[in-house]
Amino acid sequence: MEQKVLTLGGAVWINLANTFVMQDNHKVDVLEESNHVLQWLEGNGLLAGELPDDPGIVSIHDTLVHLRDICMDAISELHREGGLSDRTFTRLERKSGELVLDVRLERQNGVPHLIHVGRSMMDRISYAVLHSLVETLAQYPPERIRKCEHDSCILHFVDTSKSGKRRWCSMDLCGNRQKAADFYARKKERSWS
């Protein structure tokens, strides 16, 4: 799996939702392979130098699948309703209540900051996903969370551009493909005229 695809969403929670991808016109679950789970964790900065053992990777997989369901519901609700449903909020609240966190004080550029870190690897991963979702919703309006406009793409992203007009999950992957398709369609249309 290409590392770039695992981080196109611009936020950890959207990157998790984007672990369903289209390959050869079929929807594929990237998390089905343990090496892809590790790639996703590493690409999103969630490994912190440690590698889980085999039973640990199964637990992480199950947690990621559960969190992904919540993230996908959140994306659907943001598109449909412009906000989270009470049901999804309750699921987020329940999941956050399960976390065991440590708090430490750090200096960043001379300024003190409280840092929350999950006590276990599972708590760190879950906290990162939940924190990402909450922070994204606090920073960006729902219309900035978009699906790629390419017909065969199912990936989402946070549009952080100044203009708010980003259309593609990636210009390299979908933007250029669409521009090329549009070019050839216009060329074909002109040849028929």
CATH number, position 139? 1.10.3300.10
Q: What is the pLDDT of residue 173?
A: 77
Q: Would you say the pTM of this structure is higher than 0.85?
A: yes
Range of the domain at 128: 3-192
The first and second tokens of residue 121, run together, are 């690897």
> Rounded to whole angstroms, what are the CA distances from 23 to 2, 19, 26, 28, 154?
12, 12, 5, 7, 11
Q: How many distinct structural domains can be found in the chain?
A: 1
Per-residue pLDDT of the chain (193 residues; tens, 9 = 90+): 566 778 999 999 999 999 999 888 899 999 999 999 999 999 999 987 777 777 788 999 999 999 999 999 999 999 999 999 999 999 999 999 999 999 999 999 999 999 999 999 999 999 999 999 999 999 999 999 999 999 889 999 999 999 999 999 988 878 666 666 555 566 667 677 6
Q: What is the pLDDT of residue 176?
A: 67
Q: Which residue has the tokens 């519901």?
A: 73
Q: Which amino acid is at 149?
A: E
